[in-house]
């Protein structure tokens, strides 16, 4: 049965307005045991657009679905051409103040864990440890036939050799790492098979319409069970893969706090939503917690 991915969400009820009061976040972190759940909004200050915020990528493109990728060779050609070009620039993104703040909270023992819906690796680059990448990572490639994993940089080298001179100018880079290209720009881009078995290669990320591996979901559920509160950073919570953990926390009486400029699908489960830019907001929280600025800067990576 073909799945229809959820790409947008429109509130059907009156939601409480966002505030600028950061005290609940500071109080939760002071108590410790906070589980962070981050989304694309935490990476926008690193130059990576989000999906649904102002200027989000969904306003101009439809992400690749798992069903289209596996069923259509031309769709794979378009994806790999766009992704290969995007990889060249995506890898230059650097952690911002929001990522560094999360790493600082972790170093000071205030967090029980970090779950990210992002595939950019910026939490780890900032110094966060034991990050659960809910939707995988662009750093890896997997073969859909033999299941072998390989580094993305290895495939990038092979694609460079197979597509000498491929250098179109992209209109934009998207949160999933691909670039906006026309069909003419994609041209006859050469897609490469698995070097081990000749199978179809796919980035080790969860596409829209694809399920997150059940063991990973259960691991995240266990992190929610162990946490004292859940702090959502930069996610609209439109898709169920993240929203389910908000619902789980709320159902078990754990406070849910959201820092996101726009309303989210999880707001009715949250005790508060702070409508402030993430980098500035989390930097302010660090100051309120009395963490030295030099210590915070140490996670710059």
Q: Which CATH number fits the domain that encloses residue 107?
A: 3.40.50.1220
Residues 88 and 99 grouped into a single domain: no
Segment 127-131 mean pLDDT: 96
Rounded to two decimals, what is the model's pTM? 0.87
Q: Are 44 and 271 in contact (CB under 8 A)?
A: no
User: 190 lies in a domain?
Assistant: yes
More confident residue, 189 or 56: 189
Say how many domains are in the chain. Answer: 2
Look up the CATH number of the domain holding residue 143: 3.30.1600
Q: Hey, what are 135's tokens?
A: 């939707």
Residue of higher predicted confidence among 294 and 292: 292
* 81 and 145 housed in the same domain: yes
Q: Which of the residues 84, 99, 123, 135 is marked catalytic?
A: 135
Domain encompassing residue 178: 57-92+137-205
State how far Cα 250 lies from the chain centre. 22
Task: State both tokens at 189.
Answer: 């881009």
Q: How many CA atoms lie within 13 A of 52 on its CB side?
A: 18
Residue that finishes a domain, picked among 205, 223, 252: 205
Q: pLDDT by residue (tens digit) across 61-108?
A: 567 889 999 999 999 999 999 999 888 767 788 999 999 999 999 999
Quote the pLDDT of residue 167: 86
The verdict on 104 and 230 lying in the same domain is yes
Residues 227 and 161 in one domain: no
pLDDT at 72: 94
227, 131: one domain: yes
Assign 292 a pLDDT band (cuts: 50, 70, 90): confident
297 in a structural domain: yes
Which of the four pLDDT bands, split at 50, 70 and 90, describes residue 170? confident
Active site annotation includes 135: yes
Answer whether residue 4 is part of any domain: no
Pair 21, 44 in one domain: yes
Instruction: Give the mean model confidence (pLDDT) for residues 9-32.
Output: 87
Helix (H) or strand (E) holding 258: strand 256-259
Same domain, 99 and 143: no
What is the biggest distance separating any 2 CA atoms in the chain, rounded to whole angstroms?
57
Give the pLDDT confidence score for residue 14 in this predicted structure: 74
Domain stop point among 180, 205, 230: 205
Which residue ranges make up the annotated binding site for Zn(2+)? 143, 146, 194, 197
Examine the domain organization and report whether 63 and 120 are in the same domain: no
The per-residue DSSP string of 224-240 comes to: HHH-SEEEEES----SH
Q: State whether 40 and 113 are in the same domain.
A: yes
pLDDT for 61: 54
pLDDT value at position 175? 65
Model confidence band, residue 293 (pLDDT cutoffs 50, 70, 90): low
Give the other-Cβ count within 10 Å of 142's Cβ: 19
Q: Do the domain assignments include residue 238?
A: yes
Residues 195 and 225 in one domain: no
Q: Over range 132-161, report the average pLDDT.
A: 95
Region 192-212: what's the mean pLDDT? 94
Which position has the higher pLDDT, 185 or 28? Answer: 28
Listed residues 175, 205, 235: the one ending a domain? 205
Q: Are residues 88 and 165 in the same domain?
A: yes
* Contacts for 157 with CB less than 8 Å, ≥ 6 apart: none
DSSP 44: G
Indicate whether 297 pLDDT > 70: no
Q: Which residues are annotated as a binding site for NAD(+)?
A: 39-59, 117-120, 234-236, 278
| Higher per-residue confidence, 100 vs 60 | 100
Residues within the annotated binding site?
Answer: 39-59, 117-120, 143, 146, 194, 197, 234-236, 278
Q: How far is CA 72 from CA 64, 150, 183, 200, in A?
A: 11, 23, 15, 11
- Tell whether the model's pLDDT for residue 215 goes beyond 90: yes
């Amino acid at each position: 049965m073909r799945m229809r991915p959820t790409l947008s969400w429109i509130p059907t009820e009156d939601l409480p307005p966002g505030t600028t009061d950061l005290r609940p976040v500071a109080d939760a972190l002071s108590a410790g045991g906070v589980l962070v759940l981050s989304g694309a909004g935490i990476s926008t200050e690193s130059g990576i657009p989000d999906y649904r915020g102002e200027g989000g990528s969904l306003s101009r493109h439809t992400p690749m679905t798992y069903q289209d990728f596996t069923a259509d060779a031309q769709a794979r050609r378009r994806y790999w051409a766009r992704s290969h070009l995007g990889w060249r620039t995506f890898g230059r993104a650097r952690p911002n103040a929001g990522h560094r703040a999360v790493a600082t909270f972790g170093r000071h023992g205030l967090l029980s864990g970090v779950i990210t819906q992002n595939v950019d690796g910026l939490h780890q680059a900032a110094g966060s440890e034991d990050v659960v990448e809910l939707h995988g990572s662009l750093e890896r490639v997997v073969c859909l036939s033999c299941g072998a994993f390989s580094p993305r940089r290895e495939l990038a080298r092979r694609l460079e050799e197979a597509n000498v001179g491929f250098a179109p100018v992209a209109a934009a880079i998207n949160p999933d790492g691909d670039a906006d290209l026309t069909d003419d720009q994609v041209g006859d881009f050469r897609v490469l098979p698995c070097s081990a078995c000749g199978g179809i290669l796919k980035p080790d990320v969860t596409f829209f319409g694809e399920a997150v591996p059940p063991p990973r979901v259960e691991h995240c559920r266990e992190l929610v069970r162990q946490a004292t509160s859940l702090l959502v950073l930069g996610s609209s919570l439109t898709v169920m893969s993240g929203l389910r953990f908000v619902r789980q926390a709320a159902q078990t009486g754990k406070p849910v706090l959201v820092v996101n400029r726009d309303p989210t699908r999880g707001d009715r489960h949250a005790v508060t939503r702070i409508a402030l830019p993430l980098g500035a907001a989390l930097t302010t929280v660090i100051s309120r917690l009395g963490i030295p600025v030099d210590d915070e800067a140490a996670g710059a990576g």
